[in-house]
């Protein structure tokens, strides 16, 4: 009798675990989608599929059916992997009972929908163009400003940012070494030295872009958001930027005119 009770208890607790797991199809599907996003190789696979789909979008040959097919194999692979790695007490061959067709369908639809929405919002262009203009939303900067008593204060603050293509390298991440062409290269110079011209355009003199550090993008201060959320900080950052600009001007003048 005692044994039976224990066994029933155990079964009950097993059942509860499963109930927690299987709350409803929708939450299991969500779990599977999150698992894809948080598992490096699966996320890479997803990015690769998205890349293909973006190219199809741009060529005008995209259909939701095509996306569904590609993403079905991603989701099924993820379900297999999930059972193998996370739900170890589960029979690995039974992945399709842990993630039945109804759940997989929900997960697939959700990934397809996310793709189409993010594509329409321009959030995925970076996958093909190599530049991510959406991810960063704030940066830390050290600023110097005058406080209420008139003292200079140095502080590290967090400011909202907007990503933009680096204007110095046009999003390439590299520029020609300034030592080579900052004085300007005349057509005659190229004409006199065709090897130099070839090397120049082949990128032999390219160095990592100084402005973006090779990142291809820069994080500009999002003044609109900053003014709205923290006008006081906006004032301090503006003062800091003005000071920096003035100092740069002075340095330039010194270099050029000696004062």
Q: Interface residues with Zn ion (CB under 5 A)?
A: 166, 168-169, 209, 211-212
For 57, 232, 243, the CA distances from 110, given in Å and listed in that order, are: 18, 42, 49
In the complex with Zn ion, the residue whose CB is nearer, 133 or 157, is 133
Judged by beta carbon, residue 66 or residue 164, the one nearer Zn ion is: 164
CB of 210 to Zn ion, least distance (A): 7
Nearer of residues 212 and 233 to Zn ion, judged by Cβ: 212
Q: Shortest gap between Cβ of 231 and Zn ion (angstroms)?
A: 31
The closest of 169, 176, 160, 174 to 224, measured between CA atoms, is 160
Strands 217-221, 152-165: parallel, antiparallel or unpaired by DSSP?
antiparallel
CB of 109 to Zn ion, least distance (A): 39
Would you say 39 or 174 has its CB closer to Zn ion?
Answer: 174
When the beta carbons of 97 and 168 are compared against Zn ion, the nearer one is 168
* 95 strand-pairing partners: none
CB of 23 to Zn ion, least distance (A): 48
Query: Shortest approach of Zn ion to residue 136 CB, angstroms?
Result: 15
Q: Which is nearer to Zn ion, 79 or 169 (CB)?
A: 169
CA pair distance 100, 89, nearest whole angstrom:
17
Question: C-beta of 46: minimal distance to Zn ion in Å?
Answer: 28
């Amino acid at each position: 009798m005692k044994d039976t009770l224990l066994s029933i208890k155990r079964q009950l607790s097993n059942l509860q675990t499963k109930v927690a797991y299987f709350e409803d199809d929708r939450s299991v599907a969500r779990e599977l989608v999150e698992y894809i996003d948080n598992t490096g190789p699966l996320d890479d696979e997803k990015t690769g599929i998205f890349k293909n789909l973006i190219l199809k979008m741009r060529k005008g040959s995209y259909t939701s059916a095509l996306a569904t097919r590609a993403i079905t194999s991603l989701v099924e692979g993820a379900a297999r992997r999930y059972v193998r790695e996370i739900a170890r007490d589960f029979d690995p061959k039974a992945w399709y009972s842990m993630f039945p067709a109804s759940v997989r369908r929900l997960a697939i639809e959700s990934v397809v929908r996310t793709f189409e929405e993010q594509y329409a919002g321009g959030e995925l262009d970076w996958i093909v163009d190599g530049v991510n203009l959406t991810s960063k939303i704030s940066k830390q900067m050290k600023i110097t400003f005058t406080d209420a008593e008139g003292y200079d204060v140095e502080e590290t603050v967090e400011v909202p940012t907007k990503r933009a293509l680096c204007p110095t390298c046009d999003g390439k991440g590299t520029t020609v070494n300034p030592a080579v062409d900052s004085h300007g290269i005349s057509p005659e110079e190229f004409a006199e030295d065709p090897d130099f011209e070839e090397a120049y355009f082949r990128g032999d003199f390219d160095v990592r872009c100084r402005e973006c550090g090779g990142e291809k993008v820069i994080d500009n201060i999002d003044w609109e958001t900053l003014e709205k959320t923290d006008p006081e900080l906006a004032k301090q950052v503006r003062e800091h930027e003005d000071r920096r600009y003035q100092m740069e001007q002075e340095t330039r003048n010194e270099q050029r005119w000696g004062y």
